[in-house]
Homo-oligomer: A and B are copies of this chain.
Amino acid sequence: MTAQDTTGQETVGQETVGQETVGGGTAGHGSAGQGSAGRANQKLRTRTAIVQAAAELSRTGREVTMPEIASAALVSEATAYRYFPDLASLLREAIAGQLPTAAEALEAVAGSDDPVERVAAATEFLLRHVLARQGVVRALIAATITRPAEAQARPGLRFGLIDQALAPLAGTADAADPGGTGRADGTARPAALTQLKRDLAVVISAEALFSLTDLHGLDPETAIASIGHTATTLTRAALRENP
């Protein structure tokens, strides 16, 4: 019965909010039947405004605070915290909302069946996306690394992208298999695919990018190129062993 419950979920996807269509009668009063459209819509608008403000600010590449987002969204800080348990959750959703689907991200190589080429494209895409939102991504990493329990909620774009890039390798439904431990396929392929995905999950990451730029002192372009090289090297090595 709390505000929290009504707005419900906070994970990816904000289409679940309204339990009844916006339509109904005019937002005014008097229309019988389902009258609570006004409040539900209001909450939806508030929530959307907050996420939008966070998304816009994230694109500056700077760090972003909750008061800043709230004031940009024309709500109070308290309200922002009513919709999101913490800054990290909000940033997560704001970032996830800006992500194209894995298929869209790999559109440029949609015609290619070469995993190496596709992995290179995925790496480039992910890292440039991260780079443009550095401040927020850094804050997200900082928040999740000290609270591993809640880290599961971090956007799985990385994994989706990798799956999508390696789709040509998976017979059919393998790419959609999250666990990825392979099945009754009988071949050694699934295990190798799983391992390759783990290899790439480590490499195609914001953490890898920041390691190279911050600790190793590389400039962003060089770092992206280096990680691209690492990712394709791993892919080629896996292909060599599993033709």
Contacts and interface: CB of A to CB of B under 8 A. Distances in A.
B142 A214 contact: no
A230 B198 contact: yes
A125 interface: no
A237 B116 CA distance: 14
Contacts of A214: 144-145, 148, 151-152
Contact of A151 (B203, B208, B215, B227): B215
A155 to B, nearest CB: 10
A207 interface: yes
A213 B237 CA distance: 24
Contacts of A195: 226, 229
Interface in A102-121: none
Interface of A: 63, 138-139, 141-146, 148, 151-152, 154, 156, 158-159, 195, 198-199, 201-203, 205, 207-208, 210-218, 226-227, 229-230, 233-234, 236-238
Given A158-B215, A203-B203, 16 more contacts: A138-B145, A141-B141, A141-B145, A144-B214, A145-B214, A148-B210, A195-B229, A201-B211, A202-B203, A202-B208, A202-B211, A202-B226, A202-B230, A230-B234, A234-B237, A237-B237
